[in-house]
Chain A
Amino acid sequence: MARAWKFEDNLNTDEIIPARFNITIDEKELGGKAFCEVRPDYAAGVQPGDVVVAGWNFGCASSREHAPLAIRGSGAICVIAASFARIFFRNAINIGLPILESPEASAGIAEGDEVSVDLGAGIITNLTRGTQYQARPLPDFVLRIAAAGGLVKFLREHDMEELTA
């Protein structure tokens, strides 16, 4: 079952993946170092399908795409946060890492809770506590990028203009 890994407010990109490991762009390798300083037990303990749950301003600081890549590489399927930092938000969408913004879910899910997520509908269920949350809807064009599996995949098939059409 998917398990929640809970993080604090203002978790920055250095805490997601320290700059010194960004020498590689290999997702799996980055995943092996994800959160290594704030949660040394994360990389070894995370199971495919687990979810990262965080507070406000998740992913602040650097523009490094290594941060969402490391999370995806670690096996987590999505990030649920009270709010996301701007560049991290864009990066996650662009690389196709699902992100769900919900202050309620962020507050209502504790470390280790069992969670299931309906990514399409944005519905988050906390199985441990029997609660359910609806994530904030994303703008249409963001959904178009997400549906294609990220910006790169979108642009293989479409022109940029189609995003805002």
Chain B
Amino acid sequence: MGTLIEEIFSRRAGRTVQAGEIVLLDVDTIMSHDNTTPLAIKAFREIGKPLRDPSRIVIHFDHAYPAPNLLAAENQQKIVRFIREQGIPNFYHRGVCHQVMIEEGFVRPGGIVIGADSHTVTYGALGCFSTGLGSSEIGAAWVTGKTWFKTPPTIHVVLEGRAQPGVFSKDVMLHLAGQLGMDGATYRSLEFSGPYIDSLPVHERLVFSNMSVEVGAKCGLIAADDTTIAYLEQETRAVGPFERIAVHNPQYEREIHLDVSQLGPQVACHPDVDQVRSLESVQGLALDQVYIGTCTNGRYEDLVVAANILRGRQVHRFTRTLITPASQTIYEKALANGLIQVFLDAGCTVNAPGCGACIGRHGGVLAAGERALTTMNRNFIGRMGSPEAEIFLGSPAAAAASALEGCIADPRKYL
């Protein structure tokens, strides 16, 4: 009896769990990356007890990889020593942690995954409860195999209608973020459903879960359906059979209904993710950089959308255009299908898979006074380098069209 989060928690706890209850649950997988693992190691050493099960630990290098400076290099060296010392089998440097987690089969419907990264919520789109925690909790979970959760109340987001050409799940999610505000779902579970969600392929669903943390949510869940199972079987290493957990007479705290057919392309304006406007209203703002990548929109299908707009054209000569495939697997597929050539021909720079320019440390840092349009999930002050740079967020199509014109541009004319 319950919402998706209550059903998942009840299944794991072996009893009925309802919103408001505090539960201590076994976690399937514990994720961390080069940025957050050092503090987890420190916590682990201070606790002074052994790892519960090394095979449930997954460590990625993606945030600053390959190391852009000496400090990062030394950090990563320490993590590698720890991985060797503790015999941790799951160590990846194949791209953004969240994408690699899905590809490598650590994400399953009904599963429970925690990660030392706020966008761990991404896996909710596959019916998996996943959430971000701080490094000490990750170090603690290495030892205990468990974490406490306060079962959150749920905001049900029902999406109806069919999106217009040139409008993607990113536009819909940005619109929702604008409506909800940055704390609109704090301590809540977001549950997405409705005909629009049903019609979406998994790569577009992932955007909703990924950005649910941007409105403060603990998780952003979508119940597993045939599309989910087919994706897991075809695109990931996850091995079935897969559970399908559904809601049963759910009690929602609140319902939000949105007809997406009315929506045009959206942009989140500097300096907050909820400063959302129609793309049309900010058209023409000059751009120094366009960045297509990240755990939000750096997937193969995103690159296809961008390549279709860039093919046979040239990006503006004063707009650095960076393409960073989210993972090595995506990079290989883009290479095999000619997308990388399209990007190179158009004058883009293709970076190694990973977080790239997303955290302002390497791969496309912004100077004071510069403005970027990116496919990222966050546009806080200083996120990509100088605190005096401006970051706008949009879909891969909007990013590609804007790269061509050197200013924020409507992708619909290039479709």
Q: Which residues of A contact B (CB under 8 A)?
A: 10, 12, 14-15, 18-20, 22-25, 37-38, 56-57, 60-66, 83, 85-87, 90-91, 94-95, 139, 141, 150-153, 155-156, 159-161, 163-164
Contacts and interface: CB of A to CB of B under 8 A. Distances in A.
A83 B30 CA distance: 28
B183 A10 contact: yes
Contacts of B316: none
Contacts, number: 134
Contact of B133 (A19, A25, A90, A156): A90
Contacts of B71: 23-24
A86 B187 contact: yes
B183 A56 contact: yes
Contacts of B412: none
B381 A15 contact: yes
25 contacts: A12-B380, A14-B378, A15-B381, A18-B387, A19-B359, A20-B361, A23-B72, A24-B71, A25-B38, A25-B42, A37-B387, A56-B183, A60-B182, A61-B214, A63-B116, A64-B134, A65-B36, A65-B135, A85-B216, A87-B118, A95-B136, A139-B22, A152-B43, A160-B24, A161-B24
B147 to A, nearest CB: 8
B47 interface: yes
B186 A37 contact: no
B146 interface: yes
Contact of B382 (A37, A62, A85): A37
Contact of B47 (A18, A60, A156): A156
A44 B347 CA distance: 45
A151 B138 CA distance: 11
Contact of B148 (A23, A37, A141): A141
Interface in B254-277: 272
Number of chain B interface residues as a range: 35 or more
A85 B215 CA distance: 10
B35 A87 contact: no
A160 B118 CA distance: 23
Contacts of B23: 164
A94 B136 contact: yes
Nearest to B48: A156
B144 A160 contact: yes
Given A23-B72, A86-B218, A63 B380 contact: no
A144 to B, nearest CB: 11
A63 B132 contact: yes
A153 B45 CA distance: 11
Contacts of A161: 24
A161 to B, nearest CB: 7
Given A87-B118, A155-B144, A57 B380 contact: no
A97 B116 CA distance: 19
Contacts of B359: 19-20
A95 B387 CA distance: 28
B143 interface: yes
A12 B150 CA distance: 22
Nearest to B382: A18
A44 to B, nearest CB: 18
Contacts of A64: 35-36, 134
A155 B22 contact: no
A147 to B, nearest CB: 16
Contacts of A155: 47, 49, 140, 143-144
Nearest to A67: B134
A69 B35 CA distance: 15
A24 B69 CA distance: 13
Contact of B136 (A20, A22, A150): A150
A23 B71 CA distance: 7
B332 interface: no
A83 B36 contact: no
B216 to A, nearest CB: 6
Most buried by B among A14, A24, A161: A14
Given A25-B39, A64-B36, A83 B118 contact: no
B184 to A, nearest CB: 10
Given A14-B383, A95-B134, A156-B47, 13 more contacts: A23-B72, A25-B39, A63-B115, A63-B117, A64-B134, A85-B216, A86-B186, A95-B136, A150-B136, A152-B43, A155-B144, A160-B146, A160-B148
B118 A63 contact: yes
Interface in B61-98: 69, 71-72, 75
B411 interface: no
B22 A141 contact: yes
Contacts of B383: 14, 19
B137 interface: yes
B136 A65 contact: yes
Contacts of B182: 10, 57, 60
Contacts of A56: 183
A161 B383 CA distance: 39
A87 B133 contact: yes
A162 to B, nearest CB: 10
Contacts of B183: 10, 56-57, 60, 83, 85
Most buried by B among A24, A62, A91: A62
